[in-house]
């Protein structure tokens, strides 16, 4: 006995129905008995937004493979970091782009102290992002939740690395400026230069006024045996 296919039956119109054409009645009964929901068809797992590394294992349970974790980590530390400068959750954002440009300009104008402050803020942000990612990974319900958590791990790692490097360079430049100013007490160094200049020695070297021309030493003729000695008397007569 075969089971007739009824195109008007809603059960046969689901795009996720695994049986495109039902077989015998015994096969259909066995199929529905093994389904998770005995009152409905067994649905295929729906693809997620990031389908380029979608795990089609039939279990959207928040457990992903090591390869997927690595892919999510790298994506978070590279692609998401760059995208975050220009885009928000809705795509490209002029507001986010202008904000990133303003922050970069402020750091460039404030020199080492701006880089040091930005490094400290970046480290705090990385710690907060890492803590939130741990919670998302621990309580992940779907595979997408797990991928999002490991992308957060990548973002926090890149943020912490760049912040530590920039903060170290900024503090080192400020310390060098103070040490140079202390070693040259006669040089008048503006107080702000100790914080805002990467190399205070260049701004502390006195320059001649624009009106005055730099003095050039006259070239003296080479001294020979016949050159008279200044202040010496006349040669003695024989």
* pLDDT tens for the chain, residues 1 to 238: 455 555 555 555 544 444 454 556 666 555 555 555 545 544 444 545 444 444 445 577 788 888 999 999 999 999 988 888 888 878 888 888 999 999 999 988 888 999 999 999 999 999 999 999 999 998 988 888 999 999 999 999 999 999 999 999 999 999 998 888 888 888 888 878 888 888 888 777 766 666 656 566 667 766 666 656 555 555 555 4
Do the domain assignments include residue 71?
A: yes
Do the domain assignments include residue 18?
A: no
List Cα–Cα distances, 130 to 148, 199, 210, 226, in angstroms.
Answer: 12, 35, 56, 85
Do the domain assignments include residue 43?
A: no
Number of domains, the chain:
1
Do the domain assignments include residue 108?
A: yes
Give the integer Cα–Cα distance in Å for 195 and 220: 46
Do the domain assignments include residue 88?
A: yes
Give the integer Cα–Cα distance in Å for 160 and 152: 12
Do the domain assignments include residue 33?
A: no
Do the domain assignments include residue 114?
A: yes
Do the domain assignments include residue 5?
A: no
Q: Name the residue range of residue 82's domain.
A: 62-183
Contact assessment for residue 64 and residue 136, using Cβ atoms and an 8 Å cutoff: no
pTM for the predicted model, two decimal places: 0.59
């Amino acid at each position: 006995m075969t089971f007739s296919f009824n195109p008007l039956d809603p059960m046969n119109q689901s795009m996720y129905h695994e049986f495109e054409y039902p077989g015998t009645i015994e096969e259909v009964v066995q199929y529905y008995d093994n389904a998770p929901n005995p009152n409905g068809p067994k649905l295929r797992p729906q693809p997620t937004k990031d389908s380029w590394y979608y795990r089609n294992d039939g279990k959207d349970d928040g457990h992903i493979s090591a390869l997927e974790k690595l892919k999510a980590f790298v994506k978070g530390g590279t692609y998401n970091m760059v995208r975050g400068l220009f885009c928000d959750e809705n795509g490209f954002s002029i507001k986010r782009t202008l904000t990133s440009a303003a922050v970069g300009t402020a750091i460039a104008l404030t020199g080492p102290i701006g880089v040091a402050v930005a490094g400290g803020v970046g480290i705090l942000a990385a710690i907060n992002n890492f803590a939130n990612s741990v919670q998302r990974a621990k309580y992940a319900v779907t595979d997408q939740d797990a991928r999002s958590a490991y992308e957060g791990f990548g973002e926090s790692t890149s943020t912490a690395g760049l912040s530590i490097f920039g903060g170290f360079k900024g503090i080192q430049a400020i310390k060098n400026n103070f040490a140079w100013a202390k070693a040259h007490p006669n040089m008048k160094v503006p107080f702000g230069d100790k914080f805002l200049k990467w190399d205070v020695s260049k701004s502390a070297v006195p320059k001649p006024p624009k009106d005055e021309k730099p003095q050039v030493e006259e070239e003296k003729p080479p001294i020979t045996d016949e050159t008279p000695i200044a202040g010496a008397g006349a040669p003695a007569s024989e």
